[in-house]
Structure 1
């Protein structure tokens, strides 16, 4: 099957920035034509509950329930449980709203019943009236470890508890070598079911790398006939959301869209067909093209729904090279 014979799109995402583009894709594509593969290496257990931040961010965003003020969690949230927990001397560094807690409690019970990650995500999506396909990158446990000057920190301890303060020296992913990629997505890649692959503007080190480094995933994407489109998370030397720019500086990587493109070219040779950069970074296009990928200049900052849909259309319009 050639890419002209199928219209299905696969998106890769993690975090708030990636969820924005996925929302744009979900608005411009029929639900049956969009699958989303999500980072799960940020997941952890807290207060005895399974917390899946990137999955939940995507679910809440696509269902229209995301907290627009905080940028995470649910709209209309209350904090009675956290306040009571604090009065008891409990750990409240990772804030869980009362409504958000229901998701984690439901998921914990589903796990106790023996349900796997893919099944749980599908059930939550159905309950939130989300019709697009949402898939965890693996049913197996993978955990991001941030290497820094003071030792190794689990990702959420670095990101939330320490507010990204410690300088980073690298990253590792516990369990990655034995993890199995999502069976449905890998099967569809092998069958040629995807006509387009879009990698959202998520943090390359802690959101996209974990997905790509699950054994067999990045090579399956590379070997697909579909064009593989990456969107830069760095615009004018800044990360639109999150600590990507800070991480790049501490790793002595140029904090530019070119620096991101070089990371992907070095780590995943031959994977990137198109690299989408913001209009403000247009001067970097020739150097990006020298890396063996096609540079595309477009408005990539997504402050409203129209901009999310516009960027989605830019990515979907790119033809196989």
Structure 2
């Protein structure tokens, strides 16, 4: 009979949303406790006076079953009347759509923040609306929005570089002002310490997982836990599955390959974060290279076509951790 491990997931973006659905399904099969999902908040921003948390909301909506699976963000069946009106006033960003239902989330969040609630408490309150089947925590309560310095010297908010320019402006550096003073959100370090397994989702290694690992104290928590830390490659067959992670990887000098990303995260025994790494079947030839870097390579099917397929990937990751 499969064991019932306590699981922590580090996640962000569409890949993180799909993977988290798989985590919920896999743990439900085992009768295991709900996972704790530590979500990237590096792509958060203020826009038109409201606080947006794109990765938080993507995972929240996916778990609630109300996300727009076609676009990969926002609410299914949403309308854009308010967004249109904002544009008529010349407010907001014309290339950054806020759906009406989605805006309701942002307004609720902003109101609670202005009342003095922390992002952790706000996310707890947002999570009460639907039976999510996981516990969601922001990576930090500090504001550490990601900025991109591009060729030519301009510095853009990540969302402008990613959404408006579609990552076509050559990035030279990704920064998170305020990160030096950030700390893991309440409950994050404790969840990692108590976990049996920590899973690194197949999210963008640079702008989704990178900010999580950059929070002071996060790597120390991962180093100290007795849990096995297992990552899942976001690269299949030498290509990104979705988005523009390859552009981000190139900017920090990392090849777009499953083995290179494993080396980027590094082996925990050598000061990195990984004990094991799931590679796609298409990348099986790279397993020896991953093993040589001190990370145990496990080859498995990695296409997250639906929640059941994602759950099978999670099962393989848990098995790699001895569960």
Q: Please say if residues 146 and 176 of structure 2, whose CA atoms lie closer than 8 Å, have aligned partners that are also in contact.
A: yes
2:254 is paired with a residue whose SS is: coil
Q: What are the residue-to-residue correspondences of 1:269-284 with 2, within 5 Å?
A: 269-284=271-286
Q: What are the residue-to-residue correspondences of 1:1-321 with 2, within 5 Å?
A: 7-30=5-28, 32-90=33-91, 91-150=93-152, 151-190=154-193, 193-265=194-266, 269-319=271-321
* CA 124–174 in structure 1, closer or farther in 2 if over 3 Å, else same: same
2:128 is paired with a residue whose SS is: helix
2:174 is paired with a residue whose SS is: strand
Shift of 1:18: 1.0
Runs of 4+ aligned residues of structure 1 deviating over 6 Å after TM superposition are: none
1:205 is paired with a residue whose SS is: coil
Please give the per-residue CA displacement for 1:80-117, whole angstroms capped at 9, x wherever unaligned: 11222233333322100111110001111111111100
Shift of 1:312: 1.3
> What is the distance in 2 between the residues matched to 1:294 and 1:88?
55
Q: Which runs of 5+ in 2 are unaligned?
A: none
> What is the distance in 2 between the residues matched to 1:258 and 1:297?
12
2:255 is paired with a residue whose SS is: coil
2:20 is paired with a residue whose SS is: helix
Shift of 1:220: 1.1
* CA 188–252 in structure 1, closer or farther in 2 if over 3 Å, else same: closer
> What is the distance in 2 between the residues matched to 1:188 and 1:154?
31
> What is the distance in 1 between the residues matched to 2:48 and 2:312?
41
Q: Which moved more, 1:307-316 or 1:84-93?
A: 84-93
Q: Please say if residues 41 and 138 of structure 2, whose CA atoms lie closer than 8 Å, have aligned partners that are also in contact.
A: yes
Shift of 1:188: 3.3
Q: Please say if residues 120 and 186 of structure 2, whose CA atoms lie closer than 8 Å, have aligned partners that are also in contact.
A: no
Shift of 1:308: 1.0
TM-score by length of 1: 0.93
1:134 is paired with a residue whose SS is: strand
Shift of 1:252: 4.1
2:207 is paired with a residue whose SS is: helix
* CA 174–34 in structure 1, closer or farther in 2 if over 3 Å, else same: same
Shift of 1:27: 1.4
> What is the distance in 2 between the residues matched to 1:16 and 1:271?
22
Q: Please say if residues 207 and 248 of structure 2, whose CA atoms lie closer than 8 Å, have aligned partners that are also in contact.
A: no
Shift of 1:13: 0.2
Q: Which moved more, 1:212-221 or 1:42-51?
A: 212-221
> What is the distance in 1 between the residues matched to 2:321 and 2:71?
37
Q: Please say if residues 249 and 255 of structure 2, whose CA atoms lie closer than 8 Å, have aligned partners that are also in contact.
A: yes
